[in-house]
Chain A
């Protein structure tokens, strides 16, 4: 008879709080369409791992492993060794069309500028956290889930769960976070600047050589980024080579969806109440928001700085598209441009900058690993 209720008596209030948080993530995913591919599995997983003596995670008695849980097994198989996010990157690389930046390469400089928030937040976080945790927190600003997972995991951060919740939640909130920052940093006159789109032609050979060259260049400067950059560019090479169409389609759809299913629910194994419900979690959520804000600010201010020297002015809003939240950041900038002037089409420029932000964020992740590993 005791066996029926003793587990219920083991329930702690902190676990109930985590059920509410899990429920909130599920609500945001379904009702508000906020990154549902990750927030829904993470939300449900948070509930799974916060049931008393949950069989979904490893159970220990007096420090000895009593039984293995499925989520712990998945975590060791794909997150602890960074395998899942790297495989996901193959799918992401296969989805990306580098055409807009290949036809106008100088836009890539804004992708670089918009990574400012990563490093600035890292410096801010170092006020409160020791050693490698500030770097893991700063990488939230990469606005790129796989990069954040790989960096936080390699740096052995204690806050992987909080970092993932912050990264994916803020990626979904980019349409709310970016516009006020952009409006604050730009004048009406600047937002009205038109940028006629004059694409240069791009040969197929360029499209094939581009991912190879990026991998070599990034790998020479930041060797710890080789896996991140390499898997992303491998996916792109599959897409662009023209002879692996079925592999490209598989990478973009089946592979990406499969890994996403496992990634979200497995990350939730780090959302057990004793790991997640700490004051540091709130601080990390706040710092993550800072990272996104300063990324946006970095890109916009850099564009304004360049305009001091350029005859043909750049609309500084496209700097904000350098954040790696693809394709949302690019679309937001384009929509803001249309709102100011219905004839001002910034889509190709903003998508080009957005794509370059994907490359720059991975390089930033690699550099951070170089510094702290």
Chain B
């Protein structure tokens, strides 16, 4: 019975290590995309802080 379970289990999996290599492009693009968006958010925040904090100081 154990052998049956194991062979049925094995049949459910299609193991293809080459898929790991083929999908690395998504990893590269994904991480680059996140860094680009976060970079843009960081830059926007710096600019916002600079402009709006300066306005507050001038107002004072």
- List the interface of chain A (C-beta within 8 A of B): 101-102, 105-106, 108-109, 111-112, 115-116, 118-120, 122-124, 126-128, 130, 134, 200-203, 205-206, 209-210, 213-214, 217-218, 221-222, 278-280, 283, 356, 359-360, 363-364, 367-368, 371
**What's the Cα separation between A367 and B45 when bound, in Å?**
22
- Judged by a CB distance under 8 angstroms, whether B24 is at the interface is yes
Min CB distance A233 to B, Å, is: 11
Count contacts on B: residues with CB < 8 A to the other chain: 36
Are A122 and B27 in contact (CB-based, < 8 A)?
yes
Are B49 and A222 in contact (CB-based, < 8 A)?
no
Within 8 A of A (CB), among B10-60: 12-17, 19-20, 22-24, 26-27, 29-31, 33-42, 44-46, 48-49, 52-53, 55-56
Provide the main secondary structure of the chain B interface: helix
Are A367 and B34 in contact (CB-based, < 8 A)?
yes
Are B35 and A279 in contact (CB-based, < 8 A)?
no
- Which residues of chain B are near A222, meaning CB under 8 Å? 33, 37
Min CB distance A46 to B, Å, is: 22
Q: Among the listed B30, B48, B53, which residue makes an inter-chain contact with A368, where contact means beta carbons less than 8 Å apart?
A: B30
- List the interface of chain B (C-beta within 8 A of A): 9, 12-17, 19-20, 22-24, 26-27, 29-31, 33-42, 44-46, 48-49, 52-53, 55-56
Provide the main secondary structure of the chain A interface: helix
**What's the Cα separation between A166 and B34 when bound, in Å?**
24
Are A371 and B26 in contact (CB-based, < 8 A)?
yes
Are B15 and A127 in contact (CB-based, < 8 A)?
yes
**What's the Cα separation between A213 and B40 when bound, in Å?**
10
Min CB distance A289 to B, Å, is: 18
Are B27 and A203 in contact (CB-based, < 8 A)?
no
Are A280 and B40 in contact (CB-based, < 8 A)?
no
Are B13 and A122 in contact (CB-based, < 8 A)?
no
**What's the Cα separation between A85 and B38 when bound, in Å?**
23
Are B45 and A278 in contact (CB-based, < 8 A)?
no
Q: Among the listed A210, A218, A363, which residue makes an inter-chain contact with B45, where contact means beta carbons less than 8 Å apart?
A: A210
Nearest residue, chain A, Cβ from B13: A128
Given contacts A124-B20, A127-B19, A217-B41, contact A105 B33 (CB under 8 A): no
